[in-house]
Amino acid sequence: MISFQPFQGPWVQNLACFLTKDNASDDQLSKLVMEVVILMEYSGFFVDGVVTDGAKWNRSMWTKFGVSEENPSSQHFCDTDPNRQLYFLSDYPHLLKCMRN
């Protein structure tokens, strides 16, 4: 599921939900993330971060954007400002749940 949650405000908007037989590949995920970010930016919203769990396919998708442990962000592909970054964040509560299990 792909959702949008603003930094300020109590609301969350679901944007897309996909049913798949197997996990989506990192190529498919990176294309979906790019499309969602582009459409949200063109709609007037500012997307500053992408939050996923730490699954292998999500981490592989991060590398498509040049994200690593040393570099948690990439150049924002919707903005010509070289200082604007798109951050990739791991879902902290999900990490705690994985450690517990």
Give the per-residue pLDDT at 94: 67
SS3 4: strand
Contact 91, 52 (CB under 8 A): yes
User: What are the pLDDT tens digits along the chain (101 aa)?
Assistant: 899 999 888 999 999 888 888 888 889 999 999 999 999 999 999 999 999 888 888 889 999 999 998 999 999 999 888 899 999 998 877 667 767 77
SS3 14: strand
Q: Burial, 85: exposed, middle or buried (Cβ in 10 Å; 0-12, 13-18, 19+)? A: middle
Instruction: State the Rg of the chain over Cα.
Output: 14
Give the per-residue pLDDT at 80: 84
CA 44 – CA 34 distance, rounded (Å): 16
Give the per-residue pLDDT at 53: 85
